[in-house]
Chain A
Amino acid sequence: MNAPPPAARLSLRGISKRYPSVIANDAIDLDIAPGEIHAVLGENGAGKSTLMKIIYGVTRPDAGEIVWEGRKLAISSPSMARELGIGMVFQHFSLFETLTVAENIALSIDRPQAELHDEIREVSTRYGLPLDPARLVHSLSVGERQRVEIVRCLLQKPRLLIMDEPTSVLTPQAVQQLFATLRRLAGEGCSILYISHKLDEIRALCERATVLRGGRVSGEADPRLESNDSLARMMIGGELPACTLNPQAPGELRLALNGLSLTSDDPFGTALQDVSLAVHGGEIVGIAGISGNGQQELLAALSGEKKLARADGLSLRGVAAGKLGPSARRALGLGLGFVPEERLGRGAVPEMSLADNALLTGATRAGMLKGPWIQRSKVREFAREVIARFKVKAPDEDALAQSLSGGNLQKFIIGREVMLAPEVMVVAQPTWGVDVGAAMLIRNALIDMRNRGVAVLVISEELDELFMICDRIAVLADGRLSPAIATADASVELIGRWMSGDFSEKDSHVPA
């Protein structure tokens, strides 16, 4: 056994964690020096989050050893991790919406509230993360909530800060601000573990990278000396596949939103304000933006899960469909296909078979009913076809939806909707938490639909993805929708500015 380098702040040796259906971490080694910004890189499901939870004491490893500043120890709880000087900013925030900023922070730091208020103000201004301690968390934007998390960590003067996919909630401009804060912290001697699957970011920020694949360490590198391709090879064991979008003239108007305004059913949700949008046959329109800016509300309005006050607020193939429910919109004349962002529980019923899940939306369109009765043979046949055509890894159509991996279930859901031959297809977060192979299959399926003349609307947090597959891009920010511009005319800077709610069309500055 190698002795850890004496200078290491944290060393992991042979960390393993097994879950019933998967080995999340398999003998992982990792060293991080004081003041180092260290990337943990890997695609979805590579085991990054599990490893971080182990370091933060949320999950316990089945085997392996943790050495913190030269001491071997077991981190048995997050509070112990905090006492050691480890802070963590979670990907899905660990904040309580109904409590104030100060109350949230008080839950981790036992200090009188008045004292905390002052400290929060002091630390937040020092690091350029302005915050009002008395605000209720649900009134903050997603970016501001991340600030609360970071400030909460900083108040404990951490010597190791773990950031789990922090940039998915930030505009490109805010990412630069975050990087400045992190570099400053590192300069003060704090080590930073930066978890991400975004290669450009890692090359810009980190000094060292540990790459994970399938729960194992597949490589170590200095990302500043690597290219995206060489990092990708370590991450997925091959080249990053690309997809091509051949130019084609859009067809007739298929989906239109006409000045849609809508309050949210969720008391902490975002109201939609005067949203207008047109999607034609044969084009893919992408809606960028950080989740929580009205995406849920827009999707519910599109699918019919939330009916509109005015029938003409939404039209499908020229028919005013605002007051119709989901099944009426899905019916033959209108032909809406819809893939929601939650797969288990919304797009599919977890404890039902794939066949029954095919029946869920396919019943009327695919002729699976005879009067009030279900025709099981037709249901099975349809499910088998989806499984075969979309390369869903499942033993058969009797497999339960919950037994599939995220990527496979998404392939099944998208496949089901595609095979119902929609005229208009709305897809939310098509590749969230999906491995690279499945993501490419899904993107190509969407492009294929577009080439066949279907109107496709994609709502995604992944800017790279939208730039890859969309003909036009719009941005949803704080419940308002920007104009949709041709992808060729859009730049990351412009889209980033739109994401912060400033919809003026011209670039304010031309990057050098």
Chain B
Amino acid sequence: MFQLETRPVPSATMRLLSPLIAALLMLASGFVLFTLLGQPALKAFYVFFVQPLTTLYGVGEWLLKATPLLLCSLGLLIAYRANVWNIGAEGQLVMGAIAGGGVALAFPDVSASWLMPAMLVAGVAGGMAWAALPALLRTRFHTNEILVSLMLVYVAGLGLRFLVNGPWRDPEGFNFPQSRMFHEAAILPLLHPEMRVTVAGVLALMLVGLIWLFLSKSWLGFRLTVAGQAPAAARYAGFGERRNVWIAMLISGGFAGLAGVAEVAGPLGQLQPSVSPGYGFAAIIVAFVGRLNPLGALLASLLMSLLYLGGETAQMELGLPAAITGLFQGLLLFYLLAADLFIHYRVRRSERAPAAVLKEATR
């Protein structure tokens, strides 16, 4: 008989291993799934996970999709560490796109170098403003930030649809619901002429380092971590709860907003009814799979990006439904949560069940 028992001290090894175990389990499930769908599993594997990276353009696409995932998850991991459950990054991303894109549309004739920084700042501010609402309602009225931030995702999406259908619709766009294309000064420079990934990728990489410093060396980062792990200890030490909520929400909102503006000023080049295939939600998974650690988030965002890319390739090459990506993402998070059990518990093999011991003793 097997029994779970609490480890005296959580296992640091398992903490690192469990995302790997989760990824392996996800791949194993993929194997089963491909087989069930009547595909030769090895070929499907190749198409899904290897083929996208065989060209320079493919690598560019990989990094391109990893960028918003990484940006969103960097902010989310800070919020989750502080036990602030912002799950509305998707909406904050959209608001960032609206605010940043709005600046681009408002100054169609400006080609000065201040335009791009202004757009980025507007994007960050847009995301922050959208995250400030749940923060305000939680600190003032004790409402649950999970539900409020999630509701605001729908509101932001509808707002964007209104704008591209109405006031911001391109007059020369054959009535398509989208804005005009941004002019050159409002587009982020590419990293390499053969790839679509922009300098936002480099910015995200730099932010990984910054967040790492913030979390491991700064007093504020420490306080947020304490608030997440032991709220009563945070109150005891005098780390105000309201302040923590505000900081966590604003940082995560700001990062999502940045991701949003980087999308419209990058690969999209305009505002469309949908500016993200769910990056804000997938980033939740990235943050967890990355162990709420910025370096982990970097690796996890590359994995998740590959899932998006693989899904597209598999659809084109094998005719598999693209929704398989979402399935893999969900599975990955499930496996991670299950594998995390072994951080705090270990399996003990009890040699004999207690009842058997008692029975034997009565002989």
Contacts and interface: CB of A to CB of B under 8 A. Distances in A.
B233 A326 contact: no
Nearest to B362: A72
Contact of A20 (B6, B218, B359): B6
B338 interface: no
B358 A65 contact: yes
A372 B350 CA distance: 50
A23 interface: no
B232 interface: yes
Contacts of B238: 304, 325-330
A350 B230 contact: yes
Given A327-B237, A328-B238, A372-B218, A346 B7 contact: no
A372 B10 CA distance: 29
Contacts of A327: 237-239
B171 to A, nearest CB: 50
11 contacts: A13-B361, A20-B7, A60-B354, A62-B357, A64-B361, A65-B358, A72-B362, A326-B236, A349-B233, A350-B230, A374-B222
A137 interface: no
Interface of B: 5-10, 217-220, 222, 226, 229-230, 232-233, 235-240, 350, 354-355, 357-359, 361-362
A20 B8 contact: yes
B355 A76 contact: yes
A39 B118 CA distance: 77
A351 interface: yes
A118 to B, nearest CB: 40
A20 B229 CA distance: 23
B219 A373 contact: yes
Contact of B354 (A20, A62, A73, A328): A62
A445 to B, nearest CB: 20
B10 A351 contact: yes
A330 B239 CA distance: 12
Q: How large is the interface on A (under 10, 10 to 19, 20 to 34, 35 or more residues)?
A: 35 or more
Contacts of A356: 222
Interface in A283-325: 303-305, 325
Contact of B232 (A62, A73, A345): A345
Contacts of B5: 19-20
Nearest to B239: A327
A305 B230 CA distance: 14
B354 A61 contact: yes
Contact of B233 (A20, A65, A348, A363): A348
Interface string A352-385: 1000100111010000010011100000000000
A21 interface: yes
Nearest to A327: B238
Contact of B357 (A63, A330, A338, A347): A63
* Top-5 shortest CB links A-B: A327-B238, A326-B238, A346-B232, A74-B358, A60-B354
A454 interface: no
A360 B220 CA distance: 12
Interface string A76-110: 10000000000000000000000000000000000
Nearest to B231: A345
A492 B355 CA distance: 48
